[in-house]
Amino acid sequence: MASSQELSDFLRDVERRAFKQTVYAVRDDHVALDIVQDAMLKLAEKYADKPVAEYPMLFQRILQNTMRDFWRRQKVRNLWTTLLSSFGAGQDGEEDHDPLDNIDVGDDAGNPMVQLERNQTIRVIEIALEKLPTRQREAFVFRYWEDMDVAETASMMGCSEGSVKTHCSRAVHTLTDLLEKQGLGSKAIAKLGVES
């Protein structure tokens, strides 16, 4: 079992290298610092009683998992923001308008109004997801956010493939109704490639 001083020494020694590794992966100093600090806290909270020799492997695993969590959150956030931030007709009322044509991440990154709109859209979606029954929410997230197929989702949920399809269908219908009431349009779910 490591002493608190040994844990502290290990974290001090590993911090700089972990930060450089994380910056290289996420390309943002502030995000990288948050990820490294989260990983260090997790090691200290959950594995302080382990021998010092196990710290390098444990810390590396925690750091990798924390980075994966960051990418998953980014993937989900970007997916919903991209799909739902600009639904509506294009200029001059053209019906074949592609909302993705309006999104330029490089130009919008520093625009407070765009950030506010995206944050508001994400919040509306989060609230809609919270209203789904647990099994529907699980099925929807596994299938359409985690990109699992029906069989994988059924295995994760401990149910039949038919149940997964039923839960997903109900979730899609419910989300479509909830998002339409919030003015996000019926195309929101369709753009996910989700079949109702």
d(CA 171, CA 183): 18
**φ, ψ (nearest 5 deg) of residue 195:** -90, 125
Write the pLDDT tens digit of every residue in 78-133. 665 555 554 444 445 554 444 444 444 444 556 777 777 767 777 777 788 888 89
Write the pLDDT tens digit of every residue in 33-64. 999 999 999 999 999 889 989 999 999 999 98
Q: Are 118 and 81 in contact (CB under 8 A)?
A: yes
Return the number of other C-beta atoms located less than 10 Å from residue 3's C-beta: 10
Q: DSSP 3-state assignment of 28?
A: coil
Q: Residue 86 carries which DSSP code?
A: T
pLDDT at residue number 104:
47
Q: What is this structure's pTM?
A: 0.43
CATH of span 107-190: 1.10.10.10
CA–CA–CA angle 94, 96, 102 (5° rounding): 80
